[in-house]
Amino acid sequence: MPQAWLERTPGVEAEGFDFWSKLQHNYAGWRAAQRQEAAEEPIESVREQRLVECAKQEAAMQSLFDPEQYEKSLARHDRSLSHAATKGALMIYLYR
């Protein structure tokens, strides 16, 4: 029942506000800044570690943004909510 309710969260769809596109855009900008900061780290070992961490975080978020990857995560039981319900939950969490 909560999943069906989350799937109907207004503002997630492309008509009107389109929260999901804005989230992806803002996340990409933030990640680019984080990656740039990591690349400018003067200590090589720290720089490499930070760049690896950036890549891990980007892969994790890509699995959230890409519906096909998300479905694979559901099949592996890495996630428990549908993609639409997860979008609704993030909208509520970030814009409360």
Distance CA 31, CA 25 (A): 10
Is residue 12 one of the residues assigned to a domain? Answer: no
Is residue 29 one of the residues assigned to a domain? Answer: yes
What pLDDT tens digit does each residue of the chain (96 aa) get?
688 999 888 777 767 778 888 889 999 999 999 999 999 999 999 999 999 999 999 998 988 899 999 999 999 998 999 999 998 898 889 876
Is residue 14 one of the residues assigned to a domain? Answer: no
Domain count of the fold of the chain: 1
Q: Are 75 and 52 in contact (CB under 8 A)?
A: no
Which pLDDT does position 25 carry in this prediction?
A: 93
Is residue 15 one of the residues assigned to a domain? Answer: no
Which pLDDT does position 11 carry in this prediction?
A: 73
Is residue 53 one of the residues assigned to a domain? Answer: yes
Which pLDDT does position 49 carry in this prediction?
A: 97
pTM confidence score: 0.75
Q: Which residues of 63-87 are buried (b: 16+ CB within 10 A; e: fewer)?
A: bbeeeeebeebeeeeebebbbbbbb
Domain that holds residue 36: 2-7+20-94
